């Protein structure tokens, strides 16, 4: 018997003395059929609509509003905050569900609900004005930053993570991104009316402006033709001379070109690299724009 066969024989005699956990690997045979059966049953079930949190027995709207204010450490006027969270569709729904009872003189009138349409417009204007005053960049860059921060998806993301999803009073559920975005704008307006502009600006800095964290300006704004934008908009028609400074591995997949942009007085405006001369020229233009705008 060879040494290898003898080793295998010895290992086989002693294998039965090892713990069972070291002998068994992988899943049991029943796991896969069981999971498949559960998945098939799940597919056959009718699709269930998500249940709003307000339908639970322990739901207390006033307590949730109080907790929301304390969680954000903001002093909201409760009446204004509730109005900011009430959309026109919910007001219309409540008016339809509460008929007037003219036969009973002791019947209470339906509650008067105010929607947040006016507050949405006020909050939108407040956000635009503050963002425009916050960044000392050219108008085109500030507009791009404003569009990035105030688009519905970004504002809905902020609204969802500060806990507005379950507080919104709207006919639709789940609440759409546009509704969440408008609700956050209305909440900003309610905060401005409750606590003043300084607290509102701090709220915007903490929850909306911080969405620019880890982003470069050129991640938000980038001209389609950087070289053309540099010559026409930034330098306003002044002569710019692009020069090929270095190149390597030409006519290969690893080609690399270095282009520098020089002004009329032979000063270097910007330098860039790329796999082609045109790409390197545009990269140099972006570098020049960064230096001129001090980004």
For residues 270 and 291, is the Cβ–Cβ distance under 8 A? yes
* Fold of the domain built from segment(s) 61-96+111-217: Ribonuclease iii, N-terminal Endonuclease Domain; Chain A (1.10.1520)
Query: In the prediction, which pLDDT does 147 show?
Result: 92
CATH 3.30.160.20 domain span(s) along the chain: 224-293
CATH class (in words) of the domain with range 224-293: alpha beta
Structure tokens at 127: 């956000």
CATH 1.10.1520.10 domain span(s) along the chain: 61-96+111-217
Q: How high is the mean pLDDT of the chain? A: 84
Q: Which tens digit of pLDDT belongs to each residue from 182-239?
A: 999 999 999 999 999 999 999 999 999 999 998 888 888 888 888 888 888 888 878 8
Q: What is the mean pLDDT of residues 41-62?
A: 83
Query: In the prediction, which pLDDT does 284 show?
Result: 92
Euclidean distance between CA atoms 183 and 195, whole angstroms: 18
Q: What is the DSSP string of 153-208?
A: HHHHHHHHHTT-TTT-B-SSSSPPHHHHHHHHHHHHHHHHHHH-HHHHHHHHHHHT
**Counting beta carbons within 10 angstroms of the beta carbon of residue 252, is it exposed (0 to 12), middle (13 to 18) or buried (19 or more)?**
exposed
Q: Percentage of the chain with pLDDT > 70?
A: 86
Q: Which tens digit of pLDDT belongs to each residue from 120-168?
A: 999 999 999 999 999 888 888 899 999 999 999 999 999 999 999 989 9
Structure tokens at 71: 């969680």
What does the buried/exposed string (b/e) look like for 199-212 if buried means 16 or more CB atoms within 10 Å of the residue's CB?
A: ebbebbeebbbeee
Nearest to 226 by CA among 267, 285, 168: 285
């Amino acid at each position: 018997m060879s040494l290898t066969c003898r080793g295998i024989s010895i290992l086989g005699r002693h294998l039965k003395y090892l713990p069972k956990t070291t002998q068994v690997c992988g899943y049991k045979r029943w796991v896969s059929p069981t999971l498949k059966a559960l998945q098939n049953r799940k597919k056959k079930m009718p699709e269930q609509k998500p249940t709003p949190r307000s339908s639970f027995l322990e739901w207390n709207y006033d307590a949730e509003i109080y907790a929301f204010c304390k969680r954000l450490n903001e002093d909201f006027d409760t009446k204004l905050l509730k109005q900011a969270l009430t959309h026109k569709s919910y007001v219309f729904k409540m008016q339809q569900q509460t008929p007037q009872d003219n036969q009973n003189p002791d019947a209470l009138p339906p509650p008067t609900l105010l929607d947040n349409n006016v507050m949405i417009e006020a909050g939108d204007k407040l956000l635009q004005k503050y963002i425009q005053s916050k960044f000392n960049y050219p108008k085109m860059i500030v507009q791009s930053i404003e569009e990035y921060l105030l688009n519905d998806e970004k504002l809905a993301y902020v609204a969802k993570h500060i806990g507005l999803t379950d507080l919104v009073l709207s006919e639709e559920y789940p609440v759409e991104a546009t509704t969440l975005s408008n609700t956050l704008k209305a909440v900003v307006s309610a905060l401005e009316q409750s606590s003043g502009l300084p607290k509102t600006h701090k709220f915007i800095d903490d929850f909306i402006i911080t969405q620019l964290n880890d982003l470069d300006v050129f991640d938000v704004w980038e001209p389609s033709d950087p070289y053309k934008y540099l010559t026409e908009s930034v330098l306003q028609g002044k002569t710019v001379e692009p020069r090929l400074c270095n190149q390597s591995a030409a006519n290969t997949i690893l080609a690399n070109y270095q282009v520098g942009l020089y002004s009329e007085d032979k000063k270097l405006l910007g330098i860039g690299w790329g796999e082609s001369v045109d790409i390197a020229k545009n990269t140099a233009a972006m570098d020049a724009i960064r230096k001129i705008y001090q980004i």
